[in-house]
Every structure is written in structure tokens, then in C-alpha cells.
Amino acid sequence: MHIAILTFDGFNELDSLIALGILNRVRTPGWRVSIASPTPTVRSMNGVLLEAQATLEDAAGADAVVVGSGIRTRDVVADPALMARLRLDPQRQLLGAQCSGTLVLAKLGLLRDVPACTDLTTKPWVQEAGVSVLDQPLFARENVATAGGCLASQYLAAWVIARLQGMPAAEDAIHYVAPVGEKEEYVARMRANVVPYV
């Protein structure tokens, strides 16, 4: 089972790396989570240099793809050659998008007639792409989920885990990363946001 997190130059560390950390809490044989990028390295919005573990072409064959966000997402969607490399298919993959990653799914035509979540900065651009934006942290329909707000990445990661490994595995992953003394609250909040879409 391969989960690819699409990560571009200018990426938001919280969106890609929180998902990476939570998704890697699953300890099932064959479970693999990778940062997939268009280049061998990408630099975050705060200057962190990250080495890609997979290519965008590898992501086309992944079981699940999470599209991360960043300050250059509008440059990504304006690049026809780059967008052509994103061969995502909700008929055979789980697809998730975090914050401005929602704009990528919208521009790929994968959110037709599906409302979506995104961050407040990206909201007008997603609306311009013809997608209705919801005021909530997570929404999913069938195999496509979107999340809005950096810390909603925990819900998107939990949704992927729940869909691929079941809700108990998602609960275990969130319980592990949640603050001491607040673990049950975090698990309950995750369940409230994720269970309706599993």
C-alpha cells in the first residue's frame, strides 16, 4: 500500500509533514508513505530543504495521494507541463487535498459538483475554479477528500488511514501523536470529523 504526499517548492511544512508523520504510524507490512515531488529536492515556504522519496509519476500508481499545499500552488496550477504529470484517478485511488492542494484537484477537474474545504487564503481561487467551499475542516465524497487549515492535516491523514486500514488504526495513529492529557479529546474530535466520510 503506497501513499504519496505531493509536495512542491514553497510547501507548507505542517501540511506535508504532519500527514507524513501520522500516516507512518501505521505499522502494516507493505505500508509505505512517501514525499512525491517534481524535482529531487523541494524547499519549503520557510526554507527547509526536503529530499523527494518518489516522483510525480510514482504517485500516479499510488493507492492514495495527498496533495499538500504551499505558497506557490498557483504557480503549480499555471504550469501545463507540471499539471500534465499529475495523473490522478479517483476510480482507483483515494485522493486528498490539504489547503491550497484543493486548488490542484479543482484545476484537474476532480472536484466537479463536489463541495470542498480549503484554507481562507486559497478560498477565492478555489471558488473561481467553480468549486463551492465549505466552512469546515474536512469533507469527503466517495474517494476524494479535502481539508482546510494546516492542523486539519490530522483529519485528512486519519481519513486515509480509516479508509485503507479501518477506524481503529486511525484512532491509534491520532492517539499516538496527540498531547498527553488530551489524547481522548483528540481522538473524539477526529472521529467527529472523519466518521461521517468513512
Query: Band of the pLDDT at 23, cuts 50, 70, 90?
Result: very high
pLDDT at residue 32 in the model: 97
- Please compute the mean of the pLDDT values over residues 136-147 and round it to a whole number: 98
Sequence-distant (≥ 6) Cβ neighbours of residue 159 within 8 angstroms: 96, 138, 140, 145, 170, 194, 197, 198
* Domain ranges, residue 17: 2-197
Q: What's the CATH code of the domain at 171? A: 3.40.50.880
Query: Band of the pLDDT at 7, cuts 50, 70, 90?
Result: very high
Structural domain total, the chain: 1
- Please compute the mean of the pLDDT values over residues 7-17 and round it to a whole number: 96
> What value does the mean pLDDT of the chain take?
97
- Please compute the mean of the pLDDT values over residues 22-26 and round it to a whole number: 97
Between CA 9 and CA 1 the distance in angstroms is 26
pLDDT at residue 54 in the model: 98
Give the residue from 62, 61, 124, 70 showing the smallest Cα distance to 97.
70
- Please compute the mean of the pLDDT values over residues 130-134 and round it to a whole number: 97
CA dihedral sign of residues 2, 34, 37, 143:
positive
Q: What is the pLDDT of residues 63-114, one digit of tens each?
A: 999 999 999 999 999 999 999 999 999 999 999 999 999 999 999 999 988 9
Q: What is the pLDDT of residues 146-157, one digit of tens each?
A: 999 999 999 999
- Please compute the mean of the pLDDT values over residues 152-179 and round it to a whole number: 98
pLDDT at residue 176 in the model: 97
Tell how strand 54-55 and strand 49-51 pair up: unpaired
